Structure 1
Amino acid sequence: MSWFGVTPLKKFPAPVLGPMAPFFAAGLVIAYGINSLQGALMQSDEWKNDPRNIYAKNKAATH
């Protein structure tokens, strides 16, 4: 079935994942870096006793 001469499920032999692999890898590196930075900042002296700190809640529940 065509709509104005365009078939909706036509397969094009264009590589997609290969050229995008560096961007996927960079996204993983950035996500890991943000997660590590956030974890380090949550354990800093400024945020150690903040009620929004998930590490402080876990310490209060265990102690």
Structure 2
Amino acid sequence: MSWFGITPLKKFPAPVLRPMAPFFVAGLVIAYGVNSAQSAMMQSDEWKNDRRNIYAKSSQH
């Protein structure tokens, strides 16, 4: 199917995933580091009893 002479599903032999692999790995490492830092901050003394903290002890019935 052609739309104005453009074939939308044409395959090109260009490598995509292999050159981008270091960026995917770096993104996972950054996401893990941010998650670890956020969890450590949520368990600190400053935020331990805050009502927005999901790790805080709930005082609801």
Question: TM over 0.5, yes or no?
Answer: yes
CA distance in 2, matches of 1:42, 1:52: 10
Please list every run of at least 4 consecutive aligned residues from structure 1 whose deviation after the TM superposition is greater than 4 angstroms.
none
Q: Which has the higher helix share?
A: 1
Q: Cα distance, 1:3 vs. partner?
A: 2.4
Question: What is the identity percentage for the equivalent residue pairs of Structure 1 and Structure 2?
Answer: 83
Q: Classify 1:46/1:4 alpha carbon distance in 2 versus 1 (closer, same or farther; 3 Å).
A: same
> Partners of 1:28 and 1:53 in 2: how far apart?
24
Tell me how many residue pairs correspond in the alignment: 59
TM-score by length of 2: 0.86
For residue 19 of structure 2, what is the aligned residue in structure 1?
Answer: 19
